[in-house]
Structure 1
């Protein structure tokens, strides 16, 4: 599942096995049955079922067909489904809290003052429109002051804290080969389109997007009152295209070994001569560091060469554009509209902007997320949800242990290493034990862009301030009001924010079957990330280390390659097929997670048959629980973007792809050869 934030840049996905020959013959401890809850209901949203579709033919449509038929994607959304419904609810709760904070007088510097004044600043569109481009004049003047090519390196280093437009991005995270320490990493960056493939593809749709992107650039020039917007657009697009040609693909960037290249600053200068790396690093306030990790070495070599070939005036044009682009939604309505027309309409298919208040919630979650999160938890999080999650996670861990022991393709030695990793998994549920403070951030009711710039600078200082200090294992990469979950490979932990612990993912009033199929599958998904094709490269302490025997590694590779081929055959739109190699980690996590969740559910029954509720056996309800979580509708533009850039398969394939590989599903629904959900046994993937 997806993760965003500076910490999230260090998050990877993984999974491993353990045990020994003797252990594989010994039954793992029986999972504890869930405490009974009075008047439990099925948890199935019966009105969404399409009973005209046979579950054996298309289980996604069988579970969600009526929902698909009756649901319209909101005009201000590009995708709509269970995640988005929950996110809307969480945002509404946050908005209620924000309005309450803004409604009362507040002491300067207090949480209430910061939240209320940022809300007021975002909603003061009259003030914002009157300012036009004025809030960026200091930054534009700083770009204009560049007179020598040699000054560019220091400027790009200095602007790291502002997070806009640098072809190289620096961040601080745990060292993947020594997870007890923090280290600086450097990565490719600097594109205005979502991915390098948007520049490299030459099909008709891609060419249209390129033209419309250049239209937006020229429009910014026109709104700024600058001449030759068309020429600027051509220059910027040409420069970004050269950066894109040198960049690594998303599939390459998944490889945790290939992207771990530790070197000294002097070695970086040798790798990528022609760019003043010492000045860049010093201006980024990192000159005391004696080593850094360079994620894409060939890109850095190419960038350093390109930096010399491109004139300073072209770089200045590029920097001005990215300054405006990254702030356009905070500027006057004409800049905001131009940005929306491209990023919203063209790339995502949106029909209208979100209401201003909803956008204010996004800004406040970005700048003051954990401050708001503390309020959210106090008002909306139920302690009983955490208690029941604790038990579910314990049961999933037991089931995973059992699954490892019973694998017939893995040696005892590798099983033992996997079990050791599993035992070291940490879990965080709901909210942090230690809340982040925002003393570094001052907020003004009449300075929206200044507020967001100070937030970025505050977080940058917080990030680089970690260097030389012990790793903070209380830190969270997501706020409690985030509807998502994640696995961190360097922390070796799974994290479930409060907002995801709601129906259809988690229903404290529902029978266990649907909960195991829904949130149980999500828990299993995150655990399995510790053992997917990349997570399995780290040990229980979070260190990048090979703990596999060569024979087991080859078995694992063969099984994952079959999964790559399966998903690469799915064709969701036009001529675009899923990128099986890009989605491999997520697809492994889906299949492994649901398989282990099913075992945990069976364990929880303690040998007794599950009750039949709403006419469904427990086994059938389990799979319905998984399928209704992934109900999703896409606009065509958003679906194309998801296929090109997203590691997650679209919702329907998270159902069809997973269940067609699970013998347990075949048994529950009597799937036979000739059915749409059927795969021959030798074509099914079994990993965990």
Structure 2
């Protein structure tokens, strides 16, 4: 989307954030927290729309987007910076071969060269399609599946190298369910009209893609039906999203012999080398039932059927990098049918995003040097450490947790590693060869590098300094196996505060509560709480405390399961409970840290709002997100995050400070009686 009127942002420099003692004067400057208010709505009835409604009215979702809001506003400006990096690099036609500039520039230029892309047609996939055609038995089938995985086509199932949940210092080979064109198993079974229509459209899409690849009409129609039947059978043995949240039940370590007994139709000793694993003594089979069914499907479907399925998966992954007819068909299904988007983004936006996705490690180095104010890392750490301090105070004062468990919780909290800003060491991408000759080949090369980088970890110690996100990515994560939170540099950005320091209510509502507080709480949510201070899947709770904790998490499941974002579509309280717990913990800890600031202690009003009112408005601003109904329906079905309105209203209804700040009383829609309020951390 375009930068919206009166809502641009700027990275707040350390000079402003840390070195300026002058009190900011907000009286003559636009305050986004106030200008976004929809005062026709009572904050006691719908705080999310009260805080953001005017902005939504003035900024309808563009036809080319699934949604809009603060994430999109920030991403627009970051994207503009990345575009500048890409275009500047592309203009350096004499850049040294193998340099970061050359790789970024040539990747971007190849993506923008639509003339060459049209001329190439399907040729970039010619060798891979032939490889599929040459399959003649189960051995060559799995050798080809291994090759497809190595170029980013994770067909049939998922195989990765990741930290061993129970031995976090070691890497393990993990088998996970996968191979679904519709991503989530519920798309294949839910009976509501919208989902049923998606299934119908998906079969049409498979047929259209096959025709574009040269298959005759009758065969394309027959093959599309077969693929739908094939994927439905895969989906039938796939666990639901909420069941995938249980790390204990999804940890099933087997010897190679045990896996072979489970899947006798697959010779893993011969198949694994095709995936880049020369030898493995043990494998974590996360969903054994899925692999038992996959074993049956190896025989129940013919080699020809498997070839048809593999081709469809290859085209689904790489079609967007091919000629316009493929791109348009993929946009029709994934953009319009699945997400309600009716207009494609400008080419430069697509290729900027693709370049950042493929070479973000290289772009990140330039981004940090050219766009990140000095001291941003230090300011983020300051806020994070303040959140950790109040978290410790809360744990010590919990009335439901015994001293032995408190001691363990405090040990874990103290050992949480905060990776902030950008990595100390960048990944070595010197082996990636990029040219301006073929966009599709460049994508394949970067996919192959990423896959090889992962596979080469097998048998090596875990590098706990590694990052799994770029500094220019507006997101964050908690990794339970490392007991770490990772907050990229651009999280310092606060939209709407041009050339001035946001007040502490804003800083702690957005960066403190919805970022640091949220991610730290993931270490103590329904999943993270099962890992110890060293990142191992190990119970550190007393039996009595665990029962009490699970009773509290059950309450939040019940609460959120009642929310109905769309008619007949309810939030999946089980699947979203970890994020809901993190939202609740985050806003509580952000508020407690804010209470230690001078702004709060002096009861300073800004825009007529008390410090607490302003803090809650900032938290509402942090989740200022609006989606088209199709995208919202997809989120309900596939995402472990609740829709934005409930990340605000659902959380705040549990806080007595919120009830007091906005005079919420019985009969108001935001009112939650004491007996039903969830209090965990």
Is 1:342 matched with 2:333? yes
Match of 1:309 in 2: 300
Query: What are the superposed Cα offsets for residues 87-140 of structure 1, whole Å, 9 maximum, x if unpaired?
Result: 111111100111111112211111111111111110111111111111111011
1:79: how far off?
A: 1.5
How far apart in 2 are the matches of 1:454 and 1:354? 25
Partner of 1:378: 369
Structure-1 residue corresponding to 2:605: 612
Give how far 1:460 is off: 1.4
Match of 1:482 in 2: 473
Is the contact between residue 260 and residue 294 of structure 1 (CA under 8 Å) also seen in structure 2? yes
Question: Matched residues in 2 for 1:631 and 1:71: separation?
Answer: 12
Separation in 2, partners of 1:143, 1:598: 57
Deviations 1:605-656 (A, max 9, x none): 4983231122111111111110011112111110100000011111111110
CA distance in 1, matches of 2:203, 2:601: 64
TM-score normalised over the length of structure 1: 0.93
Would the alpha carbon gap of residues 444 and 535 (structure 1) be closer, same or farther in structure 2, given more than 3 Å must change? Answer: same
Which residue is 1:5 aligned to?
none
Out of 508, 516, 520, the position equivalent to 2:508 is 516
The equivalent of 2:433 in structure 1 is 442
Cα distance, 1:541–1:606 mapped onto 2, change above 3 Å: farther
Select the residue among 432, 451, 458 that pairs with 1:467.
Answer: 458
Contact 1:48 1:66 in 2 (8 A): yes
Matches within 5 A, 1:260-275: 260-275=251-266
Q: Superposed, which structure 2 residues align to 1:26-425 within 5 Å?
A: 37-40=21-24, 44-104=32-92, 105-227=94-216, 228-425=219-416
Q: Which residue of 2 aligns with 1:651?
A: 644
User: How far apart in 2 are the matches of 1:517 and 1:285?
Assistant: 46
Structure 1: 5+ residue runs without aligned partners? 1-32
Distance (Å, rounded) in 2 between the aligned partners of 1:607 and 1:646: 36
SS state at 1:174 partner: strand
* 50-59 vs 364-373, which moves further: 50-59
Query: Which residue of structure 2 lines up, in the alignment, with residue 25 of structure 1?
Result: none
Q: Is the 8 A contact 2:181 2:313 kept in 1?
A: yes
| 1:438 to partner: Cα distance | 1.0
Offset of 1:272 from its aligned partner? 2.4
Corresponding residue of 1:684: 677
Normalised TM-score (structure 2): 0.94
SS at match of 1:253: helix
Structure 1 stretches of 4+ moved >6 Å: 33-36, 505-508
Cα distance in structure 1, aligned partners of 2:25 and 2:136: 70
Q: Which residue is 2:14 aligned to?
A: none
Instruction: Give the Cα separation in 1 of the matches to 2:379 and 2:544.
Output: 40
The secondary structure found in structure 1 opposite 2:119 is helix
Secondary structure at 1:326 match in 2: helix
Please report how far the alpha carbon of residue 157 of structure 1 lies from its aligned counterpart in structure 2 after TM superposition: 2.5
Task: Mark the runs of 5 or more structure 2 residues left unpaired by the alignment.
Answer: 1-16
Distance 1:49 1:470, change over 3 A: same
Please tell me whether the aligned partners of residues 41 and 613 of structure 1 are also in contact (alpha carbons under 8 angstroms): no
Q: Distance in 2 between matches of 1:281 and 1:204?
A: 42
Per-residue deviation, 1:383: 2.2
Q: Provide, for residues 170-218 of structure 1, a one-character-per-residue CA deviation record: whole Å limited to 9, x for no partner.
A: 1111111111111111111111113110001122211211111111111
Name 2:582's counterpart in structure 1.
589
Aligned length: 656
Structure 2 counterpart SS, 1:429 = strand
**SS of 1:273's equivalent?**
coil
Tell me if structure 1 keeps the 8 A contact 2:396–2:406. Answer: yes
From the superposition, tell whether residues 308 and 650 of structure 1 become closer, same or farther in structure 2 (CA, over 3 Å).
same
Assess if the C-alpha contact under 8 Å between 1:191 and 1:240 holds in 2: yes
